[in-house]
Amino acid sequence: MTNYKLILEYDGTDYHGLQRQPGLPTIQGVLEKALEQVASVESPLYAAGRTDAGVHARGQVVNFFGSLKAPPEKFPAAVNAFLPPDIVVRCCEEAGEGFNARSSAVGREYIYYIHLGDYPSPFHRRFTYYYGGDLDGDKMGRALRAVTGVHDFASFCRREEGRPTVREVHEAEVWRWGEILGVRVKANAFAWMMMRMLCGSLLEVGRGKWSVDYFQQALGGKDNSLSGPALPAQGLVLEKVYY
């Protein structure tokens, strides 16, 4: 029995999130069914990031114990043959016995994509949130600087039993490329809804409703009634997991 690590990319639009839920299409449910065709899986599937309904991934990592019916380098093509085109296994490798996609991860990187255009383009709609106006990206970047380091993100997340709200943010930046504004955050881990509430609050800064100081006070207040509205799932992508 070997421990296998997979890197996944998916378009989360048509799924009820990563975690298996009875009767609903989920990334995990579909992936487990495909894996059964080409591997014998003898453990639960562990995932680095529990992406919510509609959230995408370019670099989700999962692991499981079992054996493959094809060598690891040919395994992605084998399992992809049983997956729909919106979920792809990018690579597969043997991991040490102690490796766990979730608990071994030392960092996760998310980008939230906002489309600033004159109209909601059909070419962008699946992977961005459309904001029909302009945003002050520089001001958003100055506000975002406050989140670097260790903070209690209670203001910018939904409470969840047993899941801490103190997180360490390693890198945080706002960039602009044409009509796309990206908010990139790398942290040891994320609290529930943290990226979407953080970005919803940054949007208030970008559209001039909040000052940079107000954003920083909201973060310090540790109360999620201070947050801006959470942005929709469709703009959020789990880009990379660090080990």
What residue type is 180 in one-letter code?
I
Residue 185, beta-bridge partner list? 110, 172
Sequence-ordered list of residues with C-beta below 8 angstroms from that of 112, at least 6 positions apart, any chain: 129, 182, 183, 195, 196, 199, 231, 235, 236, 237
Catalytic annotation present for 52: yes
Min separation Cβ 122 and its own copies, Å: 4
From the list 22, 71, 85, 98, which residue makes contact with its own copies (rule: CB under 8 A)? 85
Phi, psi for 226 (deg, rounded to 5)? -85, -10
Considering only residues 39-58, where is the footprint of its own copies by CB under 8 A?
A: 56, 58
Min separation Cβ 237 and its own copies, Å: 8
From the list 41, 66, 70, 80, which residue makes contact with its own copies (rule: CB under 8 A)? 80
Strand residue runs (E) in 120-188 = 129-130, 149-152, 166-177, 180-187
Question: Is residue 86 near its own copies by the rule CB under 8 A?
Answer: yes
Phi-psi label, residue 208: left if phi above 0, alpha if psi -120 to 50, beta otherwise? left
Cα–Cα distance, 69 to 72 (Å, whole number): 9
Instruction: Count the Cβ atoms, other than its own, within 10 Å of residue 239.
Output: 18
Question: Is residue 120 near its own copies by the rule CB under 8 A?
Answer: yes
Cβ-based nearer residue to its own copies, 122 or 162? 122
Question: Is residue 122 near its own copies by the rule CB under 8 A?
Answer: yes
Cβ-based nearer residue to its own copies, 72 or 221? 72
From the list 41, 53, 88, 212, which residue makes contact with its own copies (rule: CB under 8 A)? 88
Query: Is the CB of residue 203 less than 8 Å from the CB of residue 228?
Result: yes
Residues touching its own copies, count (CB under 8 A): 22
From the list 98, 103, 118, 161, which residue makes contact with its own copies (rule: CB under 8 A)? 118
Residues that bind its own copies (CB under 8 A): 9-11, 56, 58, 76, 80, 85-90, 118-123, 125-127
Which residue numbers are catalytic?
52
